[in-house]
Amino acid sequence: MLTQSNSASSSVRRKVAPLPCAANDQFGILTGHAGLVATEFTYRKDEEIYGEDEQAEYVYQVIRGAVRTYKLLSDGRRQIGAFHLPGDVFGLESGATHRLAAEAILDTTLRLVKRKSLELSAQSDVRVARDLWSITSGELQHAENHMLLLGRKTAMERVATFLLEMDRRIAKTGMIALPMCRRDIGDYLGLTLETVSRALSELQQQGVLGLSGARQIVLRNRERLADLEA
């Protein structure tokens, strides 16, 4: 939550003037338009950024680190809705409050822009309006794909889908360095920690991937993984 983080010693706040669009910006929307002034905050690992049903006053972009958005179910279980990685924009809501809570997965720096300023800018700048629509459309597509994954896919198909998603988003030099733990992965895929671990071990035994530590993964057979995803 912003008000908590603003007063907490663990969070660092810094105002920054509008910047040129960075290479890793999702759309440059929070930095590339006149009149939009960003504020940067740094959150420690597992620190709350905002809570479910809190007022959605800001739109966020990940500069460094990673964020999970999630909902706690009535029985205490956690369903992670999305992982947000450097360049990703999140927190853009259709209503006045946040539908999910958000936490830093590891030490994370975010860029924040007032939602009201963004909406006013969209009224006068067609580029901002187009970017907002692109973000909303992308989030809707992700939600639809995630619903299909949870409702119709087997455990192995879910893990394969997740690995291919991370391969597209964060793989460097052939290595996927996951910022999230296996429990996070399970809560995203609707699986137990044990099921995720078994699936990864089985894929390793089949030669589909190689494991270097708990979070370092090399995909050795993407075609086989894509077959499993289907």
Q: What is the pTM of this model?
A: 0.83
Residue type, 120: L
Out of 17-31, 107-121, 168-182, least confident range: 17-31
Note the pLDDT of residue 16.
40
Average the pLDDT over 201-225 and give the result.
Answer: 92
- Do 13 and 71 lie in one domain? The reply is yes
Question: Which structural domain range is residue 98 located in?
Answer: 2-150
What CATH number is attached to the domain comprising 97?
A: 2.60.120.10
pLDDT in tens, 107-149: 999 999 998 888 888 888 788 888 888 888 888 899 889 998 9
Residue 141 in tokens = 């597509």
Query: Where among 124, 150, 176 does a domain terminate?
Result: 150
- Do 126 and 114 lie in one domain? The reply is yes
- Do 7 and 85 lie in one domain? The reply is yes
Residue 166 in tokens = 């991370």
- Do 200 and 122 lie in one domain? The reply is no
- Do 174 and 88 lie in one domain? The reply is no
Percent of the chain surpassing pLDDT 90: 60
Q: Is the pLDDT score of 21 beyond 70? A: no
- Do 8 and 110 lie in one domain? The reply is yes
Query: Where among 88, 117, 150 does a domain terminate?
Result: 150
Residues with Cβ within 8 Å of 191's Cβ and at least 6 positions away in sequence, in order, are: 155, 158, 159, 185, 199
Q: Calculate the alpha carbon distances from 92 to 4, 97, 105, 194 in Å.
A: 20, 10, 19, 34
- Counting the structural domains of the chain, the total is 2
Query: Where among 150, 167, 185 does a domain terminate?
Result: 150
Pairing of strands 67-72, 78-84: antiparallel
Note the pLDDT of residue 9.
38
- Do 192 and 216 lie in one domain? The reply is yes
d(CA 63, CA 40): 9
Query: What band does 70 get if pLDDT is binned at 50, 70 and 90?
Result: very high
DSSP state of 20: P
